[in-house]
Amino acid sequence: MSLNDEEQFVVGDLVVFTGYELDRPPLSHKIGIVVGVNSPVAYASDIYEILWLHSGDRVTVSAKHLDLAYTKNKTDL
């Protein structure tokens, strides 16, 4: 899932939104940068603050709706 050994995103990771949006137009296939890591509260996965490059908005997103925008090994391609 990510570059660190604990399978969590780290600040600076380039991510793609893979979830769905109900309130605003879909962010699917949009690219963002992890700019903050929030501790999991009552969620099944961690919450991250993402800076979306297409709009400049900073939004908190559950890890289950994110994926890396790149692979770490050439063999992953």
User: In the chain, where are the structural domains located?
Assistant: 14-70
| Other Cβ atoms within 10 Å of 1 Cβ, number | 13
Eight-class DSSP state of 64: G
Query: How would you classify the pairing of strands 14-17 and 66-68?
Result: antiparallel
CATH architecture of 14-70: Roll (2.30)
Give the torsion sign (CA, 44, 30, 71, 9).
negative
Question: Could you read off the pLDDT of 21-38 as tens digits, one per residue?
Answer: 656 655 556 899 999 987
Q: Which parts of the chain have pLDDT scores under 70?
A: 1-7, 21-29, 39-45, 72-77
